[in-house]
């Protein structure tokens, strides 16, 4: 089982500068590399404190210079907000700079607030993403290519920077049947998130992925399922509840941005309850929050529900202290991971007898 970290790079605390946010992420990534995490993922969003990172590829390039082994992923590059030829060149550059450690996550986007400010019609995002993916496949795998589509047209073009990895691992995020079926057709992998739900929601999402791949006649193993989860390891019930509140805060902002109901006070987004929001205690119980044994038990249940190849964890959420996030990161791989592997190994052995 591979473990990774996920970095949203939000700024709930107005006094914290962007330089501080990015420096903490760099430190977490460097430490994750030392601890043996396999991938560090970097998000992309625009125009609000929900996420300060406008370019995950810039984070990949930076962190490539301060790490040795950990792979560096975009989760995700929002394709319709880019020029295809430029993005293809930047992707190839990032993979070359990291010496083949780029894991490319792509998505169609979901926030009207972002699309309006880029002058892009959100209603066209799936069509645009489908064409964009076709262009990336051509640009990264052929010396010359051209493209004539509804949304994009390129004359005969050569991208001189080339990826080290052939083929480049590509993941899709966005929980829609169309995206999952496109992943199956193109040989892409799948990124999923249970948000503030528990193991049952993850099982339901996994069933959707299985159905989409089956509809395309592709074995589910090729989905290489990656699951992103909020996680905080602590013996303190109060600290656990505070982390759950920070996770709820993040989910509220995402929900309001998705529904085009965001509220700004100055430069800060205001969190408002989302539809059918569960009680805070239920969110805490749903998530990977608790002491080492509790988190190990929850995580084993989630792995059974989703059968992932890779689990990545959001340790730094909202106003969660940097040191607390770092401590959770250390405990997850040092204490929780061995317990989970032992439990799953014992179950497999018992089932075989």
- Yes or no: say if 330 and 322 are a contact pair by the CB < 8 Å rule: no
Instruction: Give the contacts of 338 (CB within 8 A, at least 6 positions apart).
Output: none
Instruction: Convert the pLDDT of each residue in 253-287 to its tens digit.
Output: 999 999 999 999 999 999 999 999 999 999 999 99
Burial class (CB in 10 A: 0-12, 13-18, 19+), 335: middle
| Cα torsion angle, 127, 44, 186, 307, sign | negative
Alpha-carbon distance 154 to 171, whole Å?
A: 24
Instruction: Convert the pLDDT of each residue in 77-116 to its tens digit.
Output: 999 999 999 999 999 999 999 999 999 999 999 999 999 9
Alpha-carbon distance 231 to 26, whole Å?
A: 19
81: phi > 0 → left, psi -120 to 50 → alpha, else beta; which? alpha
Q: Is the pTM of this model over 0.95?
A: yes
Across residues 126-149, what is the average pLDDT? 97
Burial class (CB in 10 A: 0-12, 13-18, 19+), 266: exposed
- Yes or no: say if 11 and 41 are a contact pair by the CB < 8 Å rule: no
Across residues 340-353, what is the average pLDDT? 90
Across residues 320-346, what is the average pLDDT? 97
At 16, list the tokens.
């914290």
Instruction: Please state, as a whole number, how many other Cβ atoms lie within 10 Å of the Cβ of residue 259.
Output: 14
pLDDT at residue 348 tops 90:
no
Query: What is the reported pLDDT for 209?
Result: 97
pLDDT at residue 225 tops 90:
yes
Domains of the chain: 2-352 (3.20.20.30)
Instruction: Give the contacts of 14 (CB within 8 A, at least 6 positions apart).
Output: 49, 266, 267, 268
In this prediction, what percent of the chain has a pLDDT beyond 90? 96
At 64, list the tokens.
């490539």
In this prediction, what percent of the chain has a pLDDT beyond 70? 100
Bridge partners for 189 per DSSP: 171
Rounded to a whole number, what is the largest CA-CA distance in the chain? 63
Per-residue confidence band for 175, with pLDDT thresholds at 50, 70 and 90? confident
Nearest alpha-carbon partner for 3 in 333, 287, 336, 338: 333
Across residues 178-195, what is the average pLDDT? 95
Instruction: Convert the pLDDT of each residue in 295-312 to its tens digit.
Output: 999 999 999 999 999 999
Report the first-to-last Cα separation within the chain, whole angstroms: 23
Across all residues in the chain, what is the average pLDDT?
Answer: 97
pLDDT at residue 352 tops 90:
no
């Amino acid at each position: 089982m591979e473990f990774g970290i996920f970095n949203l790079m939000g700024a709930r605390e107005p006094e914290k500068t962007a330089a501080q946010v990015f420096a903490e992420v760099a430190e977490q990534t460097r430490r994750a590399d030392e601890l043996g995490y396999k991938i560090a993922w970097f998000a992309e969003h625009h125009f609000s404190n929900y996420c300060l990172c406008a370019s995950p590829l810039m984070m990949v390039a930076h962190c490539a210079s301060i790490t040795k082994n950990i792979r560096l992923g975009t989760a995700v590059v929002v394709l319709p907000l880019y020029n295809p030829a430029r993005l293809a060149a930047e992707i190839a550059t990032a993979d070359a700079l990291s010496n083949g450690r780029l894991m490319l996550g792509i998505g169609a986007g979901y926030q009207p607030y972002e699309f309006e400010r880029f002058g892009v019609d959100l209603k066209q995002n799936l069509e645009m993403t489908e064409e964009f993916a076709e262009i990336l496949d051509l640009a990264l795998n052929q010396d010359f290519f051209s493209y004539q589509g509804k949304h994009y047209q390129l004359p005969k073009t050569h991208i001189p920077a080339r990826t080290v990895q052939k083929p480049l691992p590509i993941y899709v995020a966005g929980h829609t049947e169309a995206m999952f079926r496109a992943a199956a057709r193109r040989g892409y992998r799948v990124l999923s998130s249970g948000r503030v739900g528990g193991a049952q929601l993850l099982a339901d999402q996994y069933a959707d992925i299985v159905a989409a791949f089956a509809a395309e006649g592709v074995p589910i193993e090729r989905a290489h399922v990656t699951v992103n989860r909020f996680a905080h390891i602590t013996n303190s019930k109060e600290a656990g509840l505070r982390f759950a509140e920070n996770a709820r805060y993040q989910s509220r902002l995402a929900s309001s941005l998705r529904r085009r109901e965001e509220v700004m006070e100055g430069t800060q987004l205001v969190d408002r309850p989302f539809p059918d929001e569960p009680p805070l205690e239920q969110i805490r119980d749903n998530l990977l929050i608790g002491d080492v044994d509790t988190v190990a038990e929850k995580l084993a249940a989630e792995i059974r529900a989703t059968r992932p190849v890779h689990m990545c964890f959001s340790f730094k959420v909202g106003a969660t202290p940097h040191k607390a996030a770092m401590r959770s990161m250390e405990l997850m791989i040092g204490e929780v991971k061995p317990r989970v592997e032992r439990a799953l190994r014992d179950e497999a052995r018992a089932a075989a007898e």
